[in-house]
Structure 1
């Protein structure tokens, strides 16, 4: 299949082109910052945004797609599961 967007510069408003499973950690940053987070299992989410600010999001519903630029998903304070970083 040909990709009509092959020569288009990616933007934050465009669709994600890759992703990886996230294992929450209090000490390790993500392999690369996210464009968005998908939360497969409901729960709380504690993250460090790309700005360096740490925030907690309570009661995130299962199946949520959150447009967050995140450098870390913390283990402490995160009860959500099946988290995927989209880039």
Structure 2
């Protein structure tokens, strides 16, 4: 397959090049810090940022939240999420 963007850096505003399933946990940080989170299902995601602040986001299925979360907490999270890197 030809990739005309193979030599281009994706940067902060470019498209993601990898994705991974997120398993919420109250004790374990994400294995990879994502550039954004994609809501596979509608619901709530309780996210921790790099300062340790936890905030709940209510979103619809298909929404992209451009937040580089450190952790997705299991307590309070009802949505299924995918991380984009």
* TM-score under structure 2 length normalisation: 0.89
Length-normalised TM-score, structure 1? 0.87
Question: How many angstroms does 1:55 deviate by?
Answer: 1.3
Query: Residue in 2 aligned with 1:76?
Result: 75
* SS at 1:85 equivalent: strand
Q: Deviations over 1:2-27 (max 9, x none)?
A: 22222222211000000100011001
Q: CA RMSD in A?
A: 1.3
- For residue 29 of structure 1, report the CA deviation from its aligned partner: 0.9
More strand by share: 1
Query: 5+ residue gaps in structure 2?
Result: none
Q: Distance in 2 between matches of 1:10 and 1:41?
A: 27
How far apart are residue 28 of structure 1 and its match?
0.8
The verdict on how the C-alpha distance between 1:52 and 1:2 changes in structure 2, with shifts beyond 3 A counting, is farther
Show structure 1 runs of 5+ residues with no match: none
2:21 counterpart residue number: 21
Aligned to 1:86: 84
Instruction: Give, in whole Å, the separation in 1 of the partners of 2:53 and 2:9.
Output: 28
Tell me how many residue pairs correspond in the alignment: 85
